[in-house]
Amino acid sequence: MKFDVKPYEQKMQKTIEVLEGEFATIRVGRASARVLDKITVPYYGVPTGIEGVATVKAPDARTLVIQPWETSLLKEIEKAIAASDLGIMPQNDGKMLRLNFPPLTEERRKEFTKKTAKMGEEAKVAIRNLRRDANEDSKKQKKDSLLTEDEQKEAEKNIQDLTDKMIKKVDEVVAKKDKEIMEF
């Protein structure tokens, strides 16, 4: 019997996907509806994402327009955005909200690259924890006589190769986001 690394590979891949999703919410100077993903507003007592209660459009590279389906939500959305860590005050014209994204300062860009590095490191830790779990699983299978000594050693090598590949992928994702942050 051979040790199956597929479940661990899928979990590691999921970690990278989560990281990419978190990176999408980081503002990099151009307007994107994804920066609103983590902001919720109470809608009939249920916390709901802004895209669940409004239409969000980017008419140009530095502006987002939020038009709630119900005008009663305008104040709630405005409060939620103001309370978020977005750092932008919405302009309310009574029908819609306008978010103007100022160009990022050099200092703010450096803060964002530190944030991406920290998030990347957290993803690497998660991947290393999965490596540990996989190695423990292979040792348990050897102990239970499901794997031979050689198969267990091969499993550890395969797990390490997979871990190295995934950590390299995290580094690539972080480098790509850092490049995107610094280029505007």
User: Could you give all domains of the chain from N- to C-terminal order, each with its CATH number?
Assistant: 6-23+105-183 (1.10.132.20), 30-100 (3.30.1360.40)
Q: Who contacts 119 (Cβ-Cβ below 8 Å, separation ≥6)?
A: 19, 22, 23, 174
pLDDT digits (tens, 9 = 90+) for 97-131: 998 877 778 888 888 899 999 999 999 999 999 99
Label residue 11 by pLDDT band (50, 70, 90): very high
Distance (Å, whole) CA 113 – CA 5: 32
DSSP per residue, 10-31: HHHHHHHHHHHHHHHTS--SS-
pLDDT for the residue 12: 95
Q: Where are the beta strands (DSSP E) in the chain?
A: 40-43, 46-49, 54-60, 63-68, 91-92, 97-100
